[in-house]
Amino acid sequence: MPLLTPPRNWFVIPAAGIGARMGAGKPKQYLVLGDKTILEHTLLRILTLPNLAGVVVPLSSDDSYWTSLTILQHPLVHTIHGGASRADSVLNGLNYLADKAHALDWVLVHDAARPCVTLSSIKKLCDELADSNVGGILSVPVSDTLKKIANKNEIQTTVDRSSLWQAQTPQMFRYQLLRDCLTKTIANNENITDESSAVELCGYKPRVIEGRTDNIKVTRPDDLLLAEFILQQQEKQL
């Protein structure tokens, strides 16, 4: 079916995880940075994107924190039940959009715990992939020296980093393509580490769009202070 209108941008923000590595007693997306939870910071960044079609937030079925957030009242935010894994949650989000999204619409999947993403980075991703039939991801070149280790944490070799990039989010793909790729790779029990890996496993070649190093993912306790500092510095630049 031909696309009669320009492709729309949908977001899926999987937020059903528990963030075990944080060891905080609650899912990390509900930890507070300043006066808002990490998830609120993330959503507020996403909701500034012009002409946004909607944001789908897959949540754990026993989530007891979401209903305390006022952002749930935003007309563009839709919540659904997540799945057992990130990939399952994203696919649930795509299935929710089945009667809303066109096959060639864009879906941008973004980590709930990546609150420092900038609007300029999202716009750059959208602009540079506008003519792609597949999509791509925000990413940054690896800057540190990488070591491959084996038993007892012994260094086996130094890895050539000249062609290595560190994946970030958002990861942006055509709606039907991403839905088909996730459906196939989940059914085949493939090792899906992010949305791009599912697309790659199906034979496509997503592009990398260079992002910013301050688009960090909050994973461990030390990341909280860093994310709070980054948010404060970004606010000063606005």
Distance (Å, whole) CA 202 – CA 210: 23
- CA dist 158 to 147, 151, 153, 164, Å? 5, 16, 13, 13
Residues 8 and 102: beta-carbon distance below 8 Å: yes
- Whether residue 197 has pLDDT greater than 80: yes
Distance (Å, whole) CA 182 – CA 192: 9
Confidence of residue 169 (pLDDT cuts 50, 70, 90): very high
- CA dist 199 to 4, 76, 177, 194, Å? 26, 27, 8, 9
215: left (phi over 0), alpha (psi -120 to 50) or beta: beta
Distance (Å, whole) CA 224 – CA 110: 18
Confidence of residue 21 (pLDDT cuts 50, 70, 90): low
Distance (Å, whole) CA 183 – CA 63: 25
pLDDT at 193: 95
Where helices occur in the chain by DSSP H, the ranges are 38-46, 86-96, 119-128, 175-187, 195-201, 221-237
Burial class (CB in 10 A: 0-12, 13-18, 19+), 138: buried
Taking only the tens place, the pLDDT of each residue in 29-86 is 999 999 999 999 999 999 999 999 999 999 999 999 999 999 999 999 999 999 999 9
Residues 63 and 41: beta-carbon distance below 8 Å: no
> Which single residue is written with the structure tokens 């059914």?
187
Q: Tell me what the pLDDT averaged over the chain comes to.
A: 94
Residue 21, phi then psi, degrees to nearest 5: -65, -20
Taking only the tens place, the pLDDT of each residue in 138-156 is 999 999 999 999 988 999 9
> Which single residue is written with the structure tokens 């580490």?
193
